[in-house]
Structure 1
Amino acid sequence: MGPLYCLLLLGVGIIGPAIAQDLTIPSGWNVSSSDTVSRTEREAYANEAAAALVQNIVSNGSLSDTTESQALASMYTVLALQDTLSGNSTWKNTISNSMKTWVQHIDIFGNGTVGSRRTNSNGIQWALASYYAYKAYGDPYFLNVSQNAFSTTYKDYITPSVAAASQSAPGRNISAVNSSGCFSHAAGGIFWLPDVPDNTQVQADTVGPFAVLAGHLFEETGNTTYQTLGLQSLDFMGDLGWDQGNVMEVGVIDVYPCGRNTGKSPGIQGWYIYALAIFANITSGSDTGTTLTGQLRTAVSTAGRTPSWTQSNGVLIDTQDTAYSLNDDEFDSKAILVRALSETLRRNPSSTGGDLVHFIQSFLTIQYDSVTTAARNGSSYAIAPAGPAPAKFSNEGNIMALDMLNAAFAMAPKDVAVPSSSSTTSPSSTGSSQPSTSSGSPIPSPSHVGAIVGGVVGGIGGLCIMVGVYFWWHHKRRKAEQLATPGESFVEPFFSPTRMVTEPYQPGDPNPQHGNMYRSSFRGPGHRSKLARELPSTPSLPRTIPTSSTNLSDTQSSSLTPMMDQHADLPALVGRLVHDLLRDRDAVSAPPEYGEQ
């Protein structure tokens, strides 16, 4: 492959952004069906899917049916992101205990099994998962893991000086000259295999998450070195990594002979979009920002329209290009694309994002509609949004679905009104026509007006009794005070509400958690995991009031305050009791709210 080919290839970074920026909504997309679905209901789906998944985390921090590294990194990522996006700490204990246990006892650059090949793809994706855990809970341990793994990956980073010298790169003992002309333009690339010095393969699922993490760490620390490295890696992806013929990112490049695998994968596009969205935002207002925004628009348009992984209605399916399938984890590949689009949406407000925002919102809405109707059986999900609904529970399906569900509630307005009871149903009772044998309990649907009125009337009757009890109690207390010594006093709460919690872990797990939270070179066909089990019978999972949630309101905390203080005002007491009665009825009848973002 001669120098002329590489010169043409390197021109992609200049001409690519001007091509394929069609962000009009295809006529086959139906984007109106979930317009009336509230953020609360969307969030309930996401929480229920997460609870079903968390049940299968075992004591060593892996899943019951897999120790595959990138699947586990994605699982902890979506759990942390769910808490970040909802403003909760539902899964804090799970991540603080189980994720730490796993990370501390394995080599994160391996695949979770002894003797497995170490890859920079594994390490940098665990670094990214650790960063999300840090952002969700503020634990410096996870930031340290993230930065250390970033530094370790940097050992295989191709710097501009090494690329320009066209000589052996870090960790490589290859004496080949730059006969193809590619290596001199390989700055920002990262060798995939840290321990194989004669391998010059660079993969997008290493470079992409490295650039994403570099952007996050720059924003977190202000260290411009992260920004410089991230932009160089992004340049590599838009240059040597860009397939101009298909207008999309390629997954594998051998930077010495300039060989490329042109197989198609939504995850590869996702990593490119992810990095573009972050750095277009960081550099907004500059020429670099304008260029990156153009590249982002092109990449999003292609990723949302390609028949390689979308149907005519826009729903994601498994990659059809089996001759060059690049991702062993098909379920995770689709999830990464959706995660990237969700990040893009958060960094481009609707007031300025225009057609890009509308296109992404429509695409994500389609995935949400499909995953909750065609791909769901109770709290169990298929490995593709297109379905069909699973007959067996697979952890992979729920990991995939969580990215779709998280994105759906995150983009919904926080002040969306809950639809009327005639149009709102609980997550566990809608979607698939198959009988639900969910691993999570149904979330009760809103009560009918008659039931509410009856409850209020009964509550008022009970209130009258309580007021009578109050006067009797107050009389007894005054007599007791007369007998007490001057230094003695006491306050007894009128009642102490019981806090129901969910225990998604299997019985006997040492770390119970409250439930209101590759490869070989130029791989052949990917595979679907056959690690599946029968759907479990529905356990008793009471509605959760998160004990560590950030959205515990003042009214909730007031119900824990002693209500019979000797200076209590009776009208205020009555008003508070009525408020609590009505609030508790809502807590039973409505899907759970997990807090503000």
Structure 2
Amino acid sequence: MILSPTLIFFLFLCPLLFVASQEPSPSWSQWNITASRTNRISLAQAAIQEAISQLNHSTAQYADPADNYRLAGHIFSQLAEFDSATNQTQFAQDLQQYFNLSQNTLESLGITNFTGPTSYGHAATIAYTTYNNPVFLQYAVQAWWAARNYTLYPDNIDAGTFPAKNFPLSASCAGSTQHGWRNSRDPADPSINVFATGGFLVLSALLAEATADTDYLQAATQSADFIHAHLFNIENLVLDTISGRANDSCAINAVLSSYNSGLMIEGLAVLYSITQNVTILDLIGEIATTAISTAAWQGANGIITNNAANTGDIYLPRGLAAAYTRNAATPGLKAYIEAYLGVQYNAVTTTARIGTTNIYGPSWTAPSPSATFNPSFQANAIQALISTINLVNSSSPSSTPSPAPVKSRSRIGVIIGAVIAALALIGVCVSLVLCIRCRRRRRTDDSSHLTSDASASTFEPFSLQTISAASAGNPPLPASPQQKRTRNPLLSTTATPSSSITTGPVSQSDTSRRSQLGTEELLGLLYQRMDNVELEAGDRPPPYPT
């Protein structure tokens, strides 16, 4: 098989460019973390304690839970994540109490089984795996079934209707069926968005990981397939929404938000930890690499701004941390994630933190003038702090912070170097291919030349016609003394007797001539022809018994 130069180019250059893209940008803000792990734990714990202190201790909710009840779920999830990252059970009892109070509060508002955002299901599953308390598993299963009731499954697609919606469904979009959780409980809302579907994906994958139940694994796989089939753009970033209504022609809202890709990365990371599927690993690498480098939700400094809202994000750091801790990333990508999470950590601690308090503001790029607590801003900051607790390559406390390593090369330089290396490899490969082809052609020519010469002058297979011709005055050419002693093995193996045998009627003159030869003469001729030697004077064939 001969590789074309174009194929060689893509085989060697594309991997090099992919690796080159996984290097921290020199324009990034400070990405090396100088705080020790102990200090990082203390800072995260202080931020969590601030969030807990702001809870209503009779409802375990923040103000106006009817609109913001998912925010308490985020904080609950972070309590369990913190204990998991630090190998503690500090918040185990508190969480059990918070879940009980929250369930009672939400049911009084008509919200049963934590229906709606999957933040409570996420928190309960993390708590179950951290503390091994079956009470949390019950909460997680309740939340999963609540979400399941708003999830499209194949029987809904086949029927073309969904009980929770008052419009006909699209059977497929771009040849792929639609399975996903709806955006809202509004019967007239046709949108299927990644925030809801991705949340169901993560919850299903976490439950599959915790229980080994194949129903959860199937649900997670279907949700991941849906997002990948319908809501990926050409850069491997996750889009926002697709319409499931039959007459909407699968209309897509192409808004790019960091939380959509973050949810997809987290769900895939958990799925990879279960299946060890290399295809999933590759997909994580594609999404994460683009999500870290895109300008869709961050500037040249690499700090997440979440579009115009400029409020950071909880989901992308959480998703990247999930890929990192579950080894759902290549070594190069893990180093890239470390640097990126380091950027977010430093932005939160130096900019979002309000003075010397443990309250964090909305923006990670500009200081907030107000010290007012907001559970959404606080949850975003806590996630950035927790996500860096177990980074293994963070700088030691004595390290001097710098925007980028002194020896770090720019992306342009790396890409140019990769192109030069690829061109060199192409030259070597082309030279090898040409050399091999020349050698094969030379070997073929030499072999055919030797074979044609041998068949023409030194070896003729035995046949009645050749014997007659030789005895009629056309003897073979004289053999050299060496040929008298040894037959040529190359010729004996390359010549093809069947191709030289001729058949046909024997003429009357040939028959008459053969009848005049004595037996001894015939045997001598046969000996001469078979052994490819010329009889000298006095030589006689070996005696044969009569």
**Residues 62, 72 of structure 1: 8 Å contact kept:** yes
Could you say which residue in structure 2 is the equivalent of 1:563?
none
Shift in alpha-carbon separation, 1:187–1:358, aligned structure 2, 3 A: same
TM-score normalised by structure 2 residue count: 0.63
Gap runs ≥5 in structure 2: 1-14, 402-546
Gap runs ≥5 in structure 1: 1-16, 108-112, 323-329, 425-597
Q: What aligned pairs does 1:529-568 form with structure 2 within 5 A after superposition?
A: none
Query: Does residue 201 of structure 2 align to residue 211 of structure 1?
Result: yes
Please state how far the C-alpha of 1:266 moved relative to its aligned partner. Answer: 0.9
Please state how far the C-alpha of 1:360 moved relative to its aligned partner. Answer: 0.5
- Report Cα offsets for 1:14-58 as digits up to 9, x if no partner: xxx999883232221255542x42100111111111112211111
Q: Which amino acid aligns with 2:274?
A: I
TM-score normalised by structure 1 residue count: 0.58
Could you say which residue in structure 1 is the equivalent of 2:285?
297
Q: Which amino acid aligns with 1:150?
A: W
Query: Does residue 39 of structure 2 align to residue 49 of structure 1?
Result: no
Residue of structure 1 aligned with 2:230, choices 232, 235, 240 = 240
Query: Does residue 170 of structure 2 align to residue 191 of structure 1?
Result: no
Residue of structure 2 aligned with 1:335, choices 290, 310, 314 = 314
**Residues 96, 136 of structure 2: 8 Å contact kept:** no
Residue aligned with 2:343, SS: helix
Query: Does residue 128 of structure 2 align to residue 128 of structure 1?
Result: no
Could you say which residue in structure 2 is the equivalent of 1:385?
364
Please give the alpha-carbon distance, in whole angstroms, between the structure 2 residues aligned to 1:24 and 1:413. Answer: 15
Query: Does residue 80 of structure 2 align to residue 80 of structure 1?
Result: yes
Query: Does residue 304 of structure 2 align to residue 347 of structure 1?
Result: no
Please say which structure displays the higher CA radius of gyration.
Answer: 2
Residue of structure 2 aligned with 1:375, choices 352, 355, 380 = 352
Residue aligned with 2:24, SS: coil
Could you say which residue in structure 2 is the equivalent of 1:406?
386
Please give the alpha-carbon distance, in whole angstroms, between the structure 2 residues aligned to 1:356 and 1:242. Answer: 20
Q: Which amino acid aligns with 2:191?
A: Q
**Residues 259, 314 of structure 2: 8 Å contact kept:** yes
Please give the alpha-carbon distance, in whole angstroms, between the structure 2 residues aligned to 1:292 and 1:192. Answer: 25
Between Structure 1 and Structure 2, the one with more helix by share is 2
Q: What aligned pairs does 1:27-46 form with structure 2 within 5 A after superposition?
A: 27-30=26-29, 33-34=32-33, 36-46=34-44
- Report Cα offsets for 1:309-351 as digits up to 9, x if no partner: 212111112412x7xxxxxxx74x71111111111100117xx
Query: Does residue 62 of structure 2 align to residue 71 of structure 1?
Result: no
Residue of structure 1 aligned with 2:162, choices 165, 169, 172 = 169
Q: Which amino acid aligns with 1:281?
A: S
Please give the alpha-carbon distance, in whole angstroms, between the structure 2 residues aligned to 1:390 and 1:186. Answer: 49
Please give the alpha-carbon distance, in whole angstroms, between the structure 2 residues aligned to 1:265 and 1:32. Answer: 22
**Residues 191, 203 of structure 1: 8 Å contact kept:** yes
Q: Which amino acid aligns with 2:24?
A: I
Please give the alpha-carbon distance, in whole angstroms, between the structure 2 residues aligned to 1:32 and 1:124. Answer: 31
Greater Cα offset, 20-29 or 42-51: 20-29
Instruction: State the structure with bigger RCO (CA 8 A, min sep 6), 1 or 2.
Output: 1
- Report Cα offsets for 1:515-566 as digits up to 9, x if no partner: xxxxxxxxxxxxxxxxxxxxxxxxxxxxxxxxxxxxxxxxxxxxxxxxxxxx
Identity %: 21
- Report Cα offsets for 1:348-382 as digits up to 9, x if no partner: 17xx7221101110000111111111221221212
**Residues 166, 184 of structure 1: 8 Å contact kept:** no
Query: Does residue 254 of structure 2 align to residue 262 of structure 1?
Result: yes
Number of residues of Structure 1 aligned to a counterpart in Structure 2: 378
Could you say which residue in structure 2 is the equivalent of 1:365?
342
Shift in alpha-carbon separation, 1:353–1:141, aligned structure 2, 3 A: same
Shift in alpha-carbon separation, 1:366–1:202, aligned structure 2, 3 A: same
Please state how far the C-alpha of 1:82 moved relative to its aligned partner. Answer: 0.7
- Report Cα offsets for 1:47-106 as digits up to 9, x if no partner: 111112211111234455452022111111112211111112222333222232012331
Q: Which amino acid aligns with 2:239?
A: V
Shift in alpha-carbon separation, 1:61–1:168, aligned structure 2, 3 A: same
Query: Does residue 219 of structure 2 align to residue 229 of structure 1?
Result: yes
**Residues 382, 388 of structure 1: 8 Å contact kept:** yes
Shift in alpha-carbon separation, 1:175–1:309, aligned structure 2, 3 A: closer
**Residues 270, 341 of structure 1: 8 Å contact kept:** yes
Please give the alpha-carbon distance, in whole angstroms, between the structure 2 residues aligned to 1:294 and 1:18. Answer: 15
Please give the alpha-carbon distance, in whole angstroms, between the structure 1 residues aligned to 2:207 and 2:16. Answer: 30
**Residues 103, 113 of structure 2: 8 Å contact kept:** no
